[in-house]
């Protein structure tokens, strides 16, 4: 499958910038050349010519006939829809190809192909394709690519969603409602996972301090904004940690990253956009409690999610 060299990584910011300054001429070139790259790479893609020439003819030919031929039949204008339909077929195949490449590499398929047929979201899936294809080529060549547009867009859309909730006076539970799902789905352009923090763990009996942002709680914090009570237990600490682990494993969208007798590190992902929170539990032998820290990787406000999560775990441990 990988008998030929991969294509050239083209970050989203570059494609957008060059397309804008060339009045979309570069975008046409981009669509042509990636089809040829994919065809050389995996052997079963369509060429740039096959992908774009039928679309160009379908759109341009009816207009040319209308200008050059007197009394051209009105139905000729409808031929433009054949060109538009063809480009949808091309895009559908392209998105499926990118998903297949990720799947065969043992990674999650990044594109939601059916967005192609939803006005507005078809632009979103197109931007996602540009980003993830570039990332794939970079990965195959052991290159590191930094795309500031891809990093910025998720937080921009998340902020817009929160502003929408505030302006409409909707409760924060409306984040998962049909009203806000299209905006938040658009906000999920790339990835909300973020980078795993490097300061996690226990140092001299202390978990990492919370940042100044309100999207973190810790039982070892001194200020009221971040402070939360530790988890108390009776009896054996090892059994308490085993029960805690069982409670966490029963919660949705959790992944235990590290589990020891006195320490547990878990990643929690949100349902809609995949925001990741890092949650740590540590048996404090001095206080005879389980110290806890729960923090969001991205953003500023967490709408109280980290605090609510710890309180939910506390209730399940008692029950």
pLDDT tens per residue, range 217-227: 999 999 999 99
For 141-171, b/e burial (b = at least 16 CB within 10 A) is eeeeeebebbeebbeebbeebbebbeeeeee
Q: How far is CA 2 from CA 101, 140, 201, 245, in A?
A: 10, 10, 40, 42
Taking phi over 0 as left and psi of -120 to 50 as alpha, with beta for the rest, 106 belongs to: left
pLDDT tens per residue, range 89-105: 999 999 999 999 988 88
Q: Which of 56-60, 68-72, 160-164, 181-185 has the highest mean pLDDT?
A: 56-60
Q: What is the mean pLDDT of residues 219-237?
A: 93
Domains in the chain (CATH in brackets) are 12-144 (no CATH), 156-187 (no CATH), 216-318 (3.30.310.80)
Tokens of 130: 């540009």
Of the candidates 287, 305, 285, 286, the residue with the CA atom closest to the CA atom of residue 295? 305
Q: How far is CA 247 from CA 18, 149, 259, 267, 307, in A?
A: 51, 39, 14, 14, 17
Provide the pLDDT confidence category of residue 165 given band limits of 50, 70 and 90: low
Place of tokens 């966490």: 248
Contacts of 5 (CB under 8 A, 6+ apart): 40, 41
Q: Nearest 5°: phi and psi at 267?
A: -105, 130
pLDDT at 181 over 60: no
Lowest mean pLDDT among 83-87, 152-156, 203-207: 152-156
């Amino acid at each position: 499958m990988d008998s030929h060299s991969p294509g050239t990584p083209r970050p989203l910011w570059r494609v957008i910038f060059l397309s804008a300054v060339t009045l979309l001429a570069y975008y046409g070139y981009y669509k042509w050349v990636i089809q040829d790259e994919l065809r050389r790479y995996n052997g079963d893609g369509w060429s740039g010519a096959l992908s774009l020439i039928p679309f160009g003819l379908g759109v341009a030919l009816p207009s040319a006939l209308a200008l050059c031929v007197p009394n051209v039949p009105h139905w000729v204008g409808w031929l433009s829809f054949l060109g538009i339909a063809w480009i949808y077929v091309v895009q559908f195949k392209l998105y499926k190809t990118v998903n297949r490449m990720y799947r065969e590499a043992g990674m999650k398929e990044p594109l939601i192909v059916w967005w192609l047929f939803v006005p507005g979201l078809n632009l979103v899936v197109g931007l996602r394709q540009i980003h993830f294809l570039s990332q794939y080529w970079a990965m195959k060549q052991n290159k590191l690519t930094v795309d500031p547009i891809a990093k910025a867009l998720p937080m921009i859309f998340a902020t817009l969603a929160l502003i929408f909730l505030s302006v409409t006076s909707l409760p924060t539970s409306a984040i998962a409602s049909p009203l806000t799902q299209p905006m938040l789905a658009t906000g999920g352009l790339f990835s909300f996972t973020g980078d795993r923090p490097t300061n996690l763990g226990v140092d001299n009996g202390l978990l990492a301090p919370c940042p100044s942002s309100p999207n973190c709680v810790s039982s070892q914090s001194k200020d009221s904004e971040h402070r939360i009570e530790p988890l108390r237990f009776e009896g054996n600490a090892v059994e308490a940690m085993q029960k805690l682990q069982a409670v966490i494993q029963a919660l949705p969208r959790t992944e235990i990253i590290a589990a020891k007798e006195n320490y547990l590190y878990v990643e929690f992902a949100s349902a809609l956009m995949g925001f990741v929170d890092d949650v740590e539990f540590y048996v404090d032998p001095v206080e005879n409690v389980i110290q806890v820290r729960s923090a969001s990787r991205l953003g500023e406000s967490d709408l109280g999610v980290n605090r609510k999560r710890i309180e939910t775990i506390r209730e399940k441990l008692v029950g």
